[in-house]
């Protein structure tokens, strides 16, 4: 199994969005060092209206369609990744901090 | 109305707005059950040039629970795909459409039907199935009834399906009901009295988009049987419809793309549940939930707002209802658990103690040869709230139930007000322009755009 890293993830994704507010960023960065990246959630069932549940790793994502990532809550350090009908919640405060830094 | 534009958010999304759900033992094929979910409320038949169609970006589902846990054991999923022949004309059709493969038909829809069991195993029952066009008018769709009937398709493994435009079978005096509950025959006794006037079918002349599936009863029961004993718990199924959209939409200049898991945006079991039982602040939430999550709505059934409004708006007409302050266990049974055995001779549709808004159908009750559109209130055990047939007068049935006529089922000492068995919205229950059909898909041929101009 290919080890998932933040850099590899960024290279694989074709789109990244940050839909969030800036409040809580400082707290998030203080509470979670960038090296604390850890996957949290598993894919939602295909064609079943449901939400993401915890997982231990991100899968090898292959998709011809877009991949969308968004941050819903800066303080959580979590990035929600959407591909096809799947949803993953990936915990990576460093990535969250980088996204916020990029839009400043 | 039953569930037309019943919640703030879904009222802005017509193609995903589940307006009515029907479930009944097929009168002409009594070894089968027919399941119908309707979408797109209040279609004006002349609504061109972009006539109504299902959403390619919507997941349409009919769920069946057969073991009383309010979780789907069988689900039928439909996904649509639109094809355009000629992008260089504004016309829906460039000549008469006389067949489903007509070259004159410019914008067609095809769909896939997939059956999913509780374990998630999916089986495609039909693919590339054609929907019929809308009933444009006498020049464009000259033999519409036959054209639409050609769009009834057989399903792999047995059964049939239809997905397309139909006459709106639901009837209600919409304007009166939402004008501070203007009910018949008591208009002159309202707090703001008006002269007596006949009811109006506000949906007369309008169309809807229908998904209808007819399958052998044995495909839906927990053990694959065809029940014959109404007392048998295995004879009862719960049915609800749902529509979902993907979580994110990316808008671009030329197209949009959807990505992410399916998020439920509409559901419907019993008619009028979200419409008049659930309060405004929770209607959108309700649409996102599953029936298994309905415990939080029990209090609204036990003490429905309409039951308080009726005696307040009609002073002195409903004194017994006004004095009835106990929790409405009768309505909980009708809407959330099913009616237990022993309350109505020869009938039960109890699914257990889990409160859940599902349309409950006892499959062992055979179709009635001379149906009464007041269903069980009219002594017809094959009608609502035992499932729901296309012609059942669910507005009157629910109004009378809420007004107290069903409360003696749980408290024989209660005497309903004399007015409770008379109250109705008064809308005509027959539509001579588009009568119900005696066979699948049962809802009438849709109104023609050229024959019935909108607003007439």
- CA B91/CA B85 separation, integer angstroms: 11
Which site among A49, A64, A70 would you substitute to test the B interface, given the most B Cβ atoms closer than 10 Å to its Cβ? A49
Q: Sorting pLDDT into bands at 50, 70 and 90, what band is A58?
A: low
Give the mean pLDDT of B356-368: 98
Q: Other C-beta atoms within 10 Å of B155: how many?
A: 19
What is the model's pLDDT at position B56? 97
Q: Which residues of B touch A65 (CB under 8 A)?
A: 257, 259
Tell me: the pLDDT tens digits for B411-425?
A: 999 999 999 999 999
Contact B202, B427 (CB under 8 A): yes
Taking alpha carbons only, the member of A73, A79, A75, A74 closest to residue A92 is A79
- CA A89/CA A96 separation, integer angstroms: 12
Give the gap in angstroms from C-alpha B99 to the nearest C-alpha of chain A.
33
Q: Sorting pLDDT into bands at 50, 70 and 90, what band is B28?
A: very high
Contact B110, B128 (CB under 8 A): yes
Domain boundaries, chain A: 6-102
Which site among A43, A47, A68 would you substitute to test the B interface, given the most B Cβ atoms closer than 10 Å to its Cβ? A47
Q: Do B261 and A82 touch (CB under 8 A)?
A: yes
Taking alpha carbons only, the member of B420, B38, B27 closest to residue B243 is B38
Asked whether residue B42 carries a pLDDT value surpassing 80, the answer given is: yes
DSSP assignment of B173-198, as one string? Answer: -HHHHTTT---BT-GGGSSS------
Q: Do A68 and B248 touch (CB under 8 A)?
A: yes
Judged by phi (left if over 0) then psi (alpha if -120 to 50, else beta), residue A24 lies in left
Could you tell me which chain B residue has the CA closest to the CA of A46? Answer: B261
- CA B424/CA B395 separation, integer angstroms: 7
Least reliable range by pLDDT among A48-62, B32-46, B70-84, B384-398? A48-62
- CA A61/CA A9 separation, integer angstroms: 9
The secondary element (H helix, E strand) that includes residue B259 is strand B256-268
Residue B35, beta-bridge partner list: B23, B213
B453 or A80, greater pLDDT: A80
Q: Which residues of B touch A51 (CB under 8 A)?
A: 261
What is the model's pLDDT at position A52? 56
The token duo for B149 is 């009937």
Q: Sorting pLDDT into bands at 50, 70 and 90, what band is B452?
A: low
Residue B43, beta-bridge partner list: B207
Q: Which residues of B touch A68 (CB under 8 A)?
A: 248, 250, 259-260
Alpha helices in B166-267 (DSSP H): 174-177
Reduced to 3 states, what is the DSSP secondary structure of residue B83? Answer: strand
Q: Do A47 and B262 touch (CB under 8 A)?
A: yes
A79 reaches B (C-beta below 8 A): no
What is the model's pLDDT at position A18? 39
Reduced to 3 states, what is the DSSP secondary structure of residue B250? Answer: strand
DSSP assignment of A54-70, as one string? Answer: E-SS------SS-EEEE
- CA B92/CA B49 separation, integer angstroms: 6
ipTM of the complex model: 0.81
Q: Which residue has tokens 């295995």?
A: B234
The token duo for A93 is 């405060």
Contact B106, B94 (CB under 8 A): yes
Reduced to 3 states, what is the DSSP secondary structure of residue B319? Answer: helix
- CA A80/CA A19 separation, integer angstroms: 10
- CA B224/CA B277 separation, integer angstroms: 35
Could you tell me which chain B residue has the CA closest to the CA of A53? Answer: B261
Counting runs of H as helices and runs of E as strands, what totals does chain B give? Answer: 8, 12
Contact B217, B31 (CB under 8 A): yes
If contacts are CB pairs under 8 Å, which of residues 18-77 in chain A contact chain B? 44-45, 47-52, 65-68, 70
What is the model's pLDDT at position B253? 84
Q: Which residue has tokens 């309409």?
A: B306
Residue B256, beta-bridge partner list: B251
Based on C-alpha coordinates, what's the Rg of chain A? 13
Which site among B247, B249, B267 would you substitute to test the A interface, given the most A Cβ atoms closer than 10 Å to its Cβ? B247
The secondary element (H helix, E strand) that includes residue B268 is strand B256-268
What is the model's pLDDT at position B1? 61
Reduced to 3 states, what is the DSSP secondary structure of residue B108? Answer: strand
Q: Other C-beta atoms within 10 Å of B94: how many?
A: 15
Q: Do B250 and A85 touch (CB under 8 A)?
A: no
Backbone angles phi, psi at B176, to 5 degrees: -75, -45
For chain B, the average pLDDT equals 95
Instruction: Indicate the residue of B59, B114, B259 with minimum beta-carbon distance to A65.
Output: B259
Tell me: the pLDDT tens digits for B384-411?
A: 999 999 999 999 999 999 999 999 999 9
What is the model's pLDDT at position A57? 58
What is the model's pLDDT at position B434? 85
What is the model's pLDDT at position B3? 83
What is the model's pLDDT at position A40? 39
């Amino acid at each position: 199994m290919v080890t998932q890293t933040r850099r590899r993830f960024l290279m694989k994704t074709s789109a990244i969005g940050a839909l969030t507010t800036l409040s809580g960023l400082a707290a998030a960065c203080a509470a979670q060092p960038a090296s604390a990246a850890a996957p949290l959630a598993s894919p939602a069932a295909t064609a079943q209206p449901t939400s993401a549940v915890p997982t231990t790793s991100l899968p090898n994502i292959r998709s011809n369609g877009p991949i969308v990532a968004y941050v819903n809550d800066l303080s959580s350090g979590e990035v929600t990744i959407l591909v096809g009908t799947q949803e993953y919640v990936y915990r990576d405060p460093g990535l969250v901090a980088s996204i916020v830094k990029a839009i400043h | 109305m039953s569930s037309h534009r019943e919640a703030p958010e879904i009222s802005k999304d017509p193609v995903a707005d589940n307006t009515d759900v029907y479930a009944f033992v097929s009168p002409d094929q009594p070894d089968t059950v027919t399941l119908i979910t309707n979408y797109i409320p209040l279609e004006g038949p002349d609504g061109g040039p972009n006539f109504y169609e299902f959403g390619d970006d919507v997941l349409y589902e009919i769920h069946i629970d057969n073991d009383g846990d309010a979780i789907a054991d069988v689900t039928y999923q439909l996904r649509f795909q639109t094809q355009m022949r000629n992008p260089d004309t504004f016309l829906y059709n460039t000549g008469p459409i006389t067949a489903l493969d007509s070259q004159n038909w410019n914008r067609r829809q095809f769909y896939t039907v997939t059956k999913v069991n509780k374990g998630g195993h999916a089986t495609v029952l039909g693919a590339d199935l054609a929907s019929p066009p809308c009933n444009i008018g006498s020049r464009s769709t000259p033999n519409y009834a036959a054209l639409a009937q050609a769009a009834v398709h057989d399903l792999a493994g047995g059964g049939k399906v239809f997905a397309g435009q139909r006459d709106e079978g639901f009837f209600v005096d919409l304007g009166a009901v939402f004008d501070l509950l203007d009910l018949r025959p008591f208009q002159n006794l309202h707090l703001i009295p008006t002269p007596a006037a006949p009811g109006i079918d506000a949906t007369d002349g309008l169309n809807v988009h229908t998904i209808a599936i007819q399958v052998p009863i044995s495909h839906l029961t927990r053990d694959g049987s065809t029940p014959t004993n109404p007392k048998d718990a295995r004879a009862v199924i719960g049915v609800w419809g749902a529509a979902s959209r993907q979580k994110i939409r990316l808008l671009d200049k030329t197209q949009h793309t959807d990505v992410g898991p399916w998020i439920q945006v509409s559901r419907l079991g019993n008619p009028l549940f979200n419409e008049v039982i659930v309060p405004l602040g929770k209607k959108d939430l309700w649409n996102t939930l599953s029936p298994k999550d309905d415990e939080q709505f029990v209090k609204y059934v036990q003490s429905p707002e309409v039951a308080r409004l009726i005696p307040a708006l009609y002073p002195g007409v409903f004194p017994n209802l006004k004095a009835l302050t106990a929790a409405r266990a009768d309505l909980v049974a009708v809407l959330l658990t099913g009616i237990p055995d022993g309350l109505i001779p020869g009938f039960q549709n109890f699914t257990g103690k889990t409160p859940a808004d599902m349309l409950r159908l006892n499959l062992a009750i055979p179709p009635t040869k001379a149906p009464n559109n007041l269903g069980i209130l009219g002594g017809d055990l094959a009608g609502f709230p035992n499932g729901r047939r296309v012609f059942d007068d669910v507005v009157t049935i629910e109004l009378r139930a809420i007004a107290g006529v069903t409360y003696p089922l749980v408290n024989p000492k209660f005497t309903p007000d004399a007015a409770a068995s008379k109250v109705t919205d008064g809308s005509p229950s027959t539509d001579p322009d588009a009568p119900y059909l005696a066979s699948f898909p049962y809802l009438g041929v849709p109104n023609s755009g050229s024959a019935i101009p909108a607003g007439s």
